[in-house]
Structure 1
Amino acid sequence: MHPARKQRLILVVLLVVLSTVAVGFVTYAMRANMDFFYAPSAFAAGEVPFEKRIRAGGCVVPGSVVRDGESLDVRFALTDGEAELEVVFNKILPDLFAEGEAAVVTGKLQQGGYVRADQVLAKHDESYTPPEVAETMVGKADCHGDPKI
């Protein structure tokens, strides 16, 4: 093999190896910042890891919102039509948060079987349901009890 060709081949192989290592490091670093979405039925089945940052969503169960009179603590339940998930949140809820409406929470599953949320997202208009929630509700009633097609 000609020395110039051999040098180019070594350079190309080195670039491929370095690129692969760089992509591996970036992917590994991003793993810590990924939030995986789980439906309430996944919590009931025990598929969700404890103390790992996750996202959960569903419809807020009517009558489940309980506010603490002395602090900002709020407890409510989310459902996907199969199971319910209790959520504890200690900040101000979004203005559009309401019972019977879709919501997505970000937080950690606690040993007591509830999610301690650090963020609550509520839908932004009457006809919108977050895509993650819509996927978990396929074939079930929507947040207002209307059957899905």
Structure 2
Amino acid sequence: MAVAKPKQQRLVLALAAVAVLAAAGVIASFALQDTAAYFKAPADIAASPPAPGQTIRLGGLVKTGTVTRPGDGLELHFIVTDMKADTNVTYRGLVPDLFREGQGVIATGSFDAQGVFRAQELLAKHDEKYMPPEVAKALEKQGHPVNAS
């Protein structure tokens, strides 16, 4: 049996390392597909609704006059708008102190089989000048300029 030369050994080792890294990348991408939350504005959802159960991040403004707290006060119903389309949202849990009508919000959750967006997490802006960049871009894309600095 012939002994491989050092140059051939390095080549085999390098190819094996590339194959292992490629396999790890493929496995990681499949694993992250189920946990990745894609940002969408209400107009994006109206144009192409996500599948029920698919986790997304919905962003826009809390539409004025739409916040209600039926029942025990822990459940919250409101509408997220990007001035082109609206999405009804239901959330159960503690609401961020800065959550209010007319302000930017990002809700992480999914649509149920009936088409209701069930938020599991709410993020609200943290001061008067801040709006999440994703929300600002979505609003500007829809023709509503935002004065965020």
TM over 0.5: yes
Asked whether 1:10 is paired with 2:15, we answer no
Counterpart for residue 40 of structure 1:
42
Q: TM-score, normalised by structure 1?
A: 0.88
User: What residue number does 2:77 align with?
Assistant: 75
Deviations 1:83-123 (A, max 9, x none): 00000001121110000000000001123322100101100
CA distance, structure 2, for counterparts of residue 77 and residue 96 of structure 1:
16
- The residue aligned with 2:51 is 49
Distance 1:19 1:52, change over 3 A: same
TM-score when normalising by structure 2: 0.88
Task: Tell me which amino acid in the other structure corresponds to 1:77.
Answer: I
Q: Which runs of 5+ in 1 are unaligned?
A: none
Distance in 2, Cα, partners of 1:115 & 1:108: 6
Cα shift at 1:23: 1.9
Deviates more, 1:17-26 or 1:32-41: 17-26
The equivalent of 1:27 in structure 2 is: 29
What code does the residue aligned with 1:117 have? Answer: A
Question: 1:108 and 1:47 mapped to 2: Cα distance?
Answer: 11
In 1, Cα distance between equivalents of 2:66 and 2:11: 66
Pairs aligned (count): 143
Give yes or no for contact 1:65–1:99 (8 Å, CA) kept in 2.
yes
CA 1:59–1:7 in structure 2 vs 1: closer, same or farther (change >3 Å)? same
Percent of counterpart pairs with the same letter?
36
CA RMSD in angstroms comes to: 1.8
User: Is the 8 Å Cα contact of residues 102 and 129 (structure 1) preserved in structure 2?
Assistant: yes
1:7 Cα shift?
Answer: 1.7
- Give me the whole-angstrom Cα distance separating, in 2, the residues matched to 1:109 and 1:29: 21
Partner of 1:121, secondary structure, is strand
